[in-house]
Chain A
Amino acid sequence: MTMLVHVDIVSAEKEIFSGLAEMVFAPAELGEVGISPRHAPLITKLNPGEVRVKISSTESYSFFISGGLLEVQPHVVSVLANTAIRAKDIDEAAALEAKMRAEEILADKTSRVDYATAENDLFQAVMQLRTLERFRKRGG
């Protein structure tokens, strides 16, 4: 039997996922990490992006998170997301619209807006779309 690790994904609003998995992939700040069971204890910040939980060789779940923290204990992996959405729940239209809006704001140098916020919004929207794209490519 393959070894499994317990994975908990919680966002500030609710519990998103809890269960056993073979491997977890997460967008850590220094690059994407893959966590197998019995990984050494690790704490790292997460960038916005996709967290993928591989349940078995055929089954895996994707989530979009907008940044957060990852804690690894040998048999428990916890993802504390600021916000998290299941990949199939990502609203493509909404993400595209958010991307357009952010780009517009960034392009319009005359208006007095918070560029950091707009840039962050754009990044979020792009990452959401990318997560969705990858999710579709895998045929999920």
Chain B
Amino acid sequence: MAVGKEIRTKISSIKNTQKITRAMEMVAASKMRKTKDRMLATRPYSKKIAKIIKHLAHANPEYKHSFLVKRDVKRVGVIAISSDRGLCGGLNSNLFRKVLTQLKHWDSAGIEVDVCTVGSKAYGFFGGLKKIKVTGHVAKLGDTPHLSDIIGVIKLMLDAYMQGEIDELHLVSNGFVNTMTQHPTIDQLLPIVPSELDEQLSSRHWDYIYEPDAKEVLDHLLTRYVESIVYQGLVENNACEQAARMVAMKSASDNAGNLIKELQLIYNKARQAAITQEISEIVAGAAAV
């Protein structure tokens, strides 16, 4: 019976798509578990170093490192982290929307922007924007990024900061809240701002003992700090990507299921109508004889 051939091909094509989205969902789910573990594993280190930096911001060092000193802002640097691939829901577009508002804000204040991008999507986005200079780019880091992969772009930005080419450094990435929610964030990395005042630390005048000397130790520590924060951002963004992809693919599979159900109904109706018509034709023919 030749009824509803188009509908049948459509149903089978949707079924194929559904198979793909379901497979992607499962792959993303297992990858998410791994990337999440990695994210949680590196968290203690970056938390600890952030805490030390917080202490340091309250100290009164003789040697003022340029990372700790605020300057007039004429040009800012941004390290933007995104995923390499799409098909992960609104993850990247939410992030970029947030960045756009910030960029507008800077633009109206007459501040120029330099960007280093991590991930192909960020490169595609910032590369297409006018007025913005992309100074560095790295992508295709895979699911197990290494610190050495991103040290290049970090160094680029830190050198620019040291030489006074940029006066602030911001990190743009997705923060992992839980599997269902990812939060786009823009954090200021440099200069380091002392966050909420700690009474115990700021009440008296104190400084660290530095061994071997303040400059060397602080240079090392502050570079490590920026590296670890950016690296943490990267692994966190990875976990976000997988989580977002999992959710997006799940809803795609569900939608495909609904679509198939509807089409199946239409197909059945059409087939039934054809049968009824055929019978009534036969009956009418028999009556005529």
Interface centre among A13, A28, A42, A80 (most CB of B within 10 A): A80
Q: Does A44 contact B (CB under 8 A)?
A: yes
How many residue-residue contacts, CB under 8 A, span A and B?
Answer: 67
Min C-beta distance of B58 to chain A, whole Å: 10
CB of A44 within 8 A of CB of B48, answer no
B217–A43 CB distance below 8 A:
yes
> Given contacts A41-B206, A41-B207, A45-B220, are A11 and B212 in contact (CB under 8 A)?
no
Q: Is A14 an interface residue (CB 8 A)?
A: yes
Q: Please report the C-alpha to C-alpha distance between residue A30 and residue B52 in the assembled complex, in whole angstroms.
A: 21
The interface size bin for chain A is: 20 to 34
The yes or no answer to B125 lying at the interface (CB within 8 A) is no
Q: Which residues of B contact A (CB under 8 A)?
A: 41-42, 44-45, 48-49, 51-52, 55-56, 59, 147, 206-212, 216-218, 220-221, 224, 228
Residues of A within 8 A of B52 (CB): 43, 69, 71, 78, 80
Q: A44-B211, A44-B217 in contact; A12/B42 too (CB < 8 A)?
A: yes
Q: Is the CB of B48 within 8 A of A8?
A: yes
Known: A12-B45, A41-B206. A29 touches B211 (CB 8 A): yes
Given A13-B42, A69-B220: A42 in contact with B48 (beta carbons within 8 A): no
Which residues of B are found within 8 Å of A8, using beta-carbon distances? 48
Whether A15 touches B211, Cβ cut-off 8 Å, given contacts A41-B59, A45-B220, is no
Describe A's contact surface by its main secondary structure.
strand
7 tightest Cβ-Cβ pairs between the two chains A and B: A44-B211, A15-B44, A42-B209, A41-B208, A10-B44, A10-B45, A71-B52
Contact A28–B221 (Cβ < 8 Å): no
Prevailing SS type, chain B contact patch: helix
Chain A residue contacts of B147, Cβ below 8 A: 12
| Cβ-defined contact, A40 with B44, below 8 A | no
**Chain A 13-37 near chain B by CB (<8 Å), digits 1 or 0:** 1110000000000001110000000
| CB nearest to B55 among chain A residues | A73
B209 near A14 with CB under 8 A, answer no
> Chain B residues near A78 (CB, 8 Å)?
48, 51-52
Q: List residues of chain B with CB within 8 A of the CB of A12.
A: 42, 45, 147, 228
Q: Which residues of A contact B49 (CB under 8 A)?
A: 80
What is the bound-complex CA distance between A72 and B48, given in angstroms?
12
Contact for B224 among A11, A30, A69, CB less than 8 A: A69
Beyond A8-B48, A69-B220, A73-B55, list 9 extra A-B contacts (CB 8 Å).
Answer: A10-B44, A11-B45, A12-B228, A13-B45, A41-B59, A42-B210, A43-B52, A43-B218, A44-B211
